[in-house]
Structure 1
Amino acid sequence: MESKKEFRREMKEKLAKMNKWEYEQSSFEIARRLFAGREWKEAETVAVTVSIFPEVDTLQIIRRAWLDGKQVAVPKCVPGERRLDFRLLTSFTQLERGYGNLFEPKTEETAPLSPGQLSLVIVPGLAFTKGGHRLGFGGGYYDRFLAGYRGEFLALAFERQLVPKLPVEAHDVPIPKIVTEKEVYRSC
């Protein structure tokens, strides 16, 4: 089986081939399926990363959460401790480029939220199996966070991110639900 590094490279190349309109339409369909789900409807606080192409567009998800009266929590990486701190985002102007050139909340303008305050965590990833295995971006931040998190979580992915098999390690946390533009896959 290929290494995680090789899988990451191949998936990034595959995603980069998506044209703008395919990306927009697929992201819209994924969001529509997410909004129809129980987890979204029941969530008071949604934790989500601010996407960078070619990840599924999360800006529309953040906007919808605000329109639905939900709180939005965005992670800030703490590289020295290799952990995530989630902070309450009330405006896109509270974002800045941070760790790994990701969009992260400005700590001086946002309030911290504890894991217990998060109703739904949307977990990012590069590749997934229908059985819930996930290949992240390589930092292990989400696996460490999810190991102690007791709330609802799921992932959003394009169908092209689904693969038959991934290299799995003992610390990898499976995703119970993956929402794509065509289907909702449940592993638990």
Structure 2
Amino acid sequence: MQITDIRIYKTTLRNKYKQMRRDMPPSVKVQHDDSIRRRVQSLYQYKNAKTLLTFVSTDIEVDTRILIADALKNGKRVAVPRCIDGTREMEFYLIKSLDDLAPRTFGVLEPDPERSELLTDFSDSICIVPGLAFDFAGYRLGYGKGYYDRFLSRYPQTKVGIVYSSCMTQRLQHGRYDVAVDLLVTERYLRKVNSPSRFSQRR
């Protein structure tokens, strides 16, 4: 299919995948979220990481709040993003609990810099990446603001996209500055990007 206007193409896809997520029965979402979380926690990259970088999920996203709570309980450092005012950049701050968060940019929970520590050393970390959809090459359909692509272009460690299998697609149109993740995790499988075959831990 020839794309004449990438903006219309992406807006149409965003509306499609947002609606698919809204239509997911709550009980199914809970099951899928739990499967995805367990698969993330089974990754050796996750087990070996001392610091977890992750977004704080909204209602239509794969839940990350239990993942955050589990990581903190098990002694990992957890850092979540905060958008920098007047830019399309974001920084990650270390938190001690979900109580360190408050609604801010686009209504998303973000850390309070007065209660949190700015993370500057990304060694021994892993980053959980959100997306409305992903393709099999690891490229994502985000919300269109570019915050994550800017950050990921400088992030040297493992990038893990988490997404429902119904929001996976064969190929997404992407630009030269879009950044692919290294691993994809759905409720059905784990996929190493650029690998000809899937490796899975089905349960």
- TM-score, normalised by the number of residues in structure 2: 0.89
TM-fit CA distance, 1:181 = 0.5
SS of 1:3 mapped into structure 2 = helix
Which residue of structure 2 aligns with residue 87 of structure 1? 93
Given the alignment, which residue of 115, 121, 127 partners 1:121?
Answer: 127
Moved over 2 A (4+): 115-118
Given the alignment, which residue of 16, 30, 37 partners 1:31?
Answer: 37
Alignment identity in percent?
Answer: 34
SS of 1:109 mapped into structure 2 = coil
TM-fit CA distance, 1:79 = 3.9
Distance in 2, matches of 1:179 and 1:29, equals 9
User: Cα deviation per residue 1:82-101 (whole Å; 9 max; x = unaligned)?
Assistant: 11110011011111001011
1:134 is matched by which residue type in structure 2? R
Q: Please list every run of 5 or more consecutive structure 1 residues that lacks an aligned counterpart in the other structure.
A: none
1:56-135 maps to which residues of 2 (within 5 A)? Answer: 56-114=62-120, 116-117=122-123, 119-135=125-141
Q: Please list every run of 5 or more consecutive structure 2 residues that lacks an aligned counterpart in the other structure.
A: 195-203
Q: Does the alignment pair 1:150 with 2:156?
A: yes
Larger Rg: 2
SS of 1:155 mapped into structure 2 = strand
- How many residues align? The count is 188
TM-fit CA distance, 1:117 = 4.7
User: Cα deviation per residue 1:58-81 (whole Å; 9 max; x = unaligned)?
Assistant: 011001101221010010011412
Which residue of structure 2 aligns with residue 20 of structure 1? 26
Distance in 2, matches of 1:26 and 1:108, equals 35
- CA 1:129 to 1:115, structure 2 compared with 1: closer, same or farther past 3 Å? farther
Distance in 1, matches of 2:51 and 2:172, equals 31
Which residue of structure 2 aligns with residue 43 of structure 1? 49
Which residue of structure 1 aligns with residue 198 of structure 2? none
Q: Is the 8 A contact 1:47 1:118 kept in 2?
A: no
Deviates most, 24-33 or 2-11: 2-11
Q: Does the alignment pair 1:160 with 2:166?
A: yes
Distance in 1, matches of 2:106 and 2:168, equals 24
Distance in 2, matches of 1:98 and 1:115, equals 25
Q: Which has the higher helix share?
A: 1
Q: Is the 8 A contact 1:46 1:73 kept in 2?
A: yes
TM-fit CA distance, 1:115 = 5.0
Q: Is the 8 A contact 1:131 1:186 kept in 2?
A: no
Instruction: Answer 1 or 2: higher relative contact order, Cα 8 Å, separation at least 6.
Output: 1
SS of 1:46 mapped into structure 2 = strand
- TM-score, normalised by the number of residues in structure 1: 0.96
What's the RMSD between the two structures over aligned residues?
Answer: 1.3
